Amino acid sequence: MIPRFTDHSANERTYLAWVRTAIAVMAFGFLLERFDLFIAFAARNDTHTAPTLHIRMSEIVGLGLILVGALMTLLATHRYRRNRQLISEEELHEYTGSGPERVLATLVVIVAIFLVGYVAQQLIVLT
């Protein structure tokens, strides 16, 4: 039997949840970055004059989301390994390590604010 198996299992489940979230963030970034190709192609084939879309900015945001997802994976792996080692030790430790989570949450909120502004600007242009 593995000592502290439930703690190790909880640590692994948390790690896998972070990885799934990172994959979702990267997939959304990829979708956002690639969707502009569809818009550019559709605008070229359209006979009507379409309003200018800020394709470059959504490419940057898409690539940024892909990088945030990669950073989430790296930080989750670091946290998983650190917690695994702390669980295996005999002595008690205080819980620390909310710094990386705060940084990632701040990055996601900044991207969300930017996306809201971007979509609002496009809605104003379209009306």
Q: Where are the domains of the chain?
A: 5-126
The pLDDT of residue 50 is 47
Which residue type sits at 127? Answer: T
The pLDDT of residue 45 is 63
The CB-based long-range contact list for 65-69 (8 Å cut-off, 24+ gap) reads: 65/25, 65/26, 65/28, 65/29, 65/32, 65/111, 66/25, 66/26, 66/29, 66/30, 66/33, 67/29, 68/25, 68/29, 68/104, 68/107, 68/108, 68/111, 69/22, 69/23, 69/24, 69/25, 69/26, 69/29
Per-residue pLDDT 10s for the chain (127 aa) are 778 899 999 999 999 999 999 999 999 888 887 776 666 666 666 655 444 556 677 778 888 889 989 988 998 999 899 989 988 887 877 776 677 778 877 877 887 888 788 777 767 766 6
**Token reading at 117:** 């502004």
pTM score, whole prediction: 0.71
* Number of C-beta neighbours around residue 95 at 10 A: 7
The pLDDT of residue 55 is 67
**Token reading at 6:** 């439930």
The pLDDT of residue 8 is 92
**Token reading at 17:** 């949840």
